[in-house]
Structure 1
Amino acid sequence: MEFVKLEQQGHVGILTINRPKALNALNLTMLNDLNSALDQIEANDSLYVIILTGVGRAFVAGADIREMNKLSAITAKSFADFGNQVLLRIENLSIPVIAVINGFALGGGCELAMACDIRLASENATFGHPEVGLGITPGFGGTQRLPRLVGYAKAMELIFTGRTISAIEAALIGLVNTVYPPEELMAKALEMAHYIADQAPIAVRLSKQCIRQGMQTDINTAATYEALAFAFCFETEDKNAGMTAFLEKRAVKSFENR
């Protein structure tokens, strides 16, 4: 993989986008690299949480304009389809994904961050969808995920104006979970990731599925899905370990993911 690096710390994977000279702008090669990294993640049963971040001054500054400018309507549709496929794979990973946003998250970068489950940002991070100023619409799910996260009216405002917002404003509208000083960001992200990884992995995965599926359907169907997930947990060794430890007033030594 030319522009993406995957490392592992215990049960936590760190997926780093590494194209700093282009502010980590998304191009076809990078999308292919991300796709390959997702293959590795899905094949690794020892990974319970993923951190996704970028090198340098940007998380991802957007899609590569120099490359996109050469596209026709037909090739642009293929590029958008592939970008959406990759981002949907991130969104639908069975394990939680934490976006650690260290700088610019614009256009495709904002879309990539929104495909993650949790977003932690540096105080100097910036967010936005500047596509209309380039004569295009968002192409990797921005018109769909942004209103789901921040509401219809605010999404309309941000996409129609193309303006960028600070990490603090992003947190106020619900786009970002928490904002940290730059020097604390990765340490806080790792702390959260390892805390999640210490919980019962099956229960975490099923909770993610319930939330993701439930947001796409009606409350009655979602509640039925949740009840099935809840029941499934009662067949796991991790449920027995967790409840026994609680009743015996002690901490769980470790969950076994079974």
Structure 2
Amino acid sequence: MSITQKGDVHVSTDGHVTVLEIRRPPNNFFDLDLIRDLSSLVEALDEDSDCRAILLASEGKAFCAGADFQRRPAELAGAVEDRNPLYSEAVRLFHNRKPIVAAVQGPAIGGGLGLSLVADFRVAAPEARFGANFVKLGIHPGFGLTHTLPRVIGVQKAQWMFMTGRRLTGEEAAAVGLVDLLVPADRLRAEAMALAQEIAEGAPLAVQSTRATLRRGLADAVQAQTDHEFVEQKWLARTEDHREGIRAVAERRPGRFVAR
């Protein structure tokens, strides 16, 4: 693929591995444009026979801190669509055929955690943080996380993360199976690339076929789950608790919720 940049996503190659690097430092907040650009790129790479694996990475202190609720706090409350366009783009990501390794150097929070779970494998540094902090924002989980997180770490551990909003360190995430390989920060990109290269050494058609079997029905399940998540998010976005949650997170304090 000859593209070297699409929006805020930089594209490079190393052998049969294509690197997609999000460049919105320091927090790498996502929006519809970013997820659309990523989904378009992975679709193009599905048709590129030279690409046998993808390394998903980001520039800055965070892998992806999710949506920026401070800039667009009313987006969900004003939504009238039956289906969130952003989630439709996320589903496109789950339809891709090439294996993905994510290099997680810092926070992967909320939808950023969801983005990391698009990948088949997560390589992380101890400084990484994984959080599904939706209840602290007074909102329902999204990005298909209510399907993808239990699929990776089990229902009980996923419920624990969702209900508490607690952030896991790199070590804690590795202990529950959310991280596949924990490496020092200065070796993160190299080790993630080494894993992607190891995958790319396999017979590409066999790798893709095996992956498709293991992920059979995943994209359809994410579509159904994001439809439900969006319904819940729309009414919760109109509550006092959601407005308080946004303030509380911004002010780094516990929320004073009133169940309204």
TM bracket (short chain): 0.7 to 0.9
**Which of the pair is proportionally richer in helix?**
1
Q: Is the 8 A contact 1:27 1:67 kept in 2?
A: no
Aligned partner of residue 51 in structure 1, secondary structure = strand
Residue of structure 2 in register with 1:9 after alignment:
14
Gap regions ≥5 residues in structure 1? 217-258
Residue of structure 2 in register with 1:132 after alignment:
135
Q: Aligned runs of 1:154-169 on 2, under 5 Å?
A: 154-169=157-172
Q: Which moved more, 1:173-182 or 1:80-89?
A: 80-89
Residue of structure 1 in register with 2:29 after alignment:
25
State the Cα distance separating 1:213 from its structure 2 match: 1.3
2:194 to 191, 202, 205: 191
TM-score computed with the length of structure 1 as normaliser: 0.77
Larger Rg: 1
Is 2:106 aligned against 1:103? yes
Matching residue's letter, 1:206: S
Matching residue's letter, 1:42: D
The Cα RMSD (Å) is 2.1
Distance 1:215 1:85, change over 3 A: closer
State the Cα distance separating 1:50 from its structure 2 match: 0.2
Q: Is the 8 A contact 2:126 2:185 kept in 1?
A: yes
Is 2:55 aligned against 1:51? yes
Residue of structure 1 in register with 2:149 after alignment:
146
1:41 to 33, 42, 45: 45
TM-score computed with the length of structure 2 as normaliser: 0.77
Across the two proteins, how many residue pairs are aligned to each other? 215
Higher relative contact order (CA 8 A, sep 6+): 2
Gap regions ≥5 residues in structure 2? 1-5, 220-260
Superposed CA deviations along residues 76-132 of structure 1, whole A, max 9, x for unmatched, are 757x73333333333331110011111110001100011111111011100011111
Measure, in 1, the Cα distance between the counterparts of 2:66 and 2:182. Answer: 21
Is 2:99 aligned against 1:89? no
Aligned partner of residue 165 in structure 1, secondary structure = strand
Q: Is the 8 A contact 2:43 2:96 kept in 1?
A: no
Measure, in 1, the Cα distance between the counterparts of 2:103 and 2:158. Answer: 22
Matching residue's letter, 1:118: F
Matching residue's letter, 1:156: Q
The alignment-based identity, stated in percent, is: 35
Matching residue's letter, 1:9: D
Q: Which runs of 4+ in 1 moved over 6 A?
A: none
Superposed CA deviations along residues 219-249 of structure 1, whole A, max 9, x for unmatched, are xxxxxxxxxxxxxxxxxxxxxxxxxxxxxxx
